[in-house]
Amino acid sequence: MNRKSMSLAVISACAVLLCSASLALAQANWVDEIANSVSFYKSNYPTSNWQPYQEKLTLVKDALARGDQRTVRTEMGKWFKMLRNREHGINDIAADELLNFSLMVTPVQEYGISVPPPPGGGF
């Protein structure tokens, strides 16, 4: 292999590695965005118990890092259910806003995440 071919091979390998790293980072970014929102609501609604929500997001982030789509799907389904039911005594307004934000940034279709309908059977 000549020097030019070797350089081209190294550049190609670096490009593939960079694209793979960017994809993994993009996948984790939506979880980070939700986690940042939880931190915001935690500071604005300190009497609510946000710990279970933070723990759930940690599970999801770890599953994404492992490429475990099944766990991402399961745990995010539980996340949405927790928010919908306002589990652990979180504030109603914070729950609604966080639910709406999470629905905007989560790739629900990509992972096949089940989102519970609102009370009363609405959309």
Span 22-34, pLDDT tens digits: 444 445 699 999 9
Q: What are phi and psi of 119, to 5 degrees?
A: -55, 145
Q: What is the pLDDT of residue 119?
A: 79
pTM equals 0.74
Question: Which amino acid is it at 20?
Answer: S
Q: Is 55 helix (H, G, I), strand (E, B) or coil?
A: helix
Span 40-86, pLDDT tens digits: 999 999 999 999 999 999 999 999 999 999 999 999 999 999 999 99
Token look-up 């970014």 returns 29
Using CA atoms, how far apart are residues 123 and 119, in angstroms rounded to an integer?
A: 9
Residue 33 CB coordination number (10 Å): 15
Q: What is the pLDDT of residue 120?
A: 74
Using CA atoms, how far apart are residues 74 and 35, in angstroms rounded to an integer?
A: 18
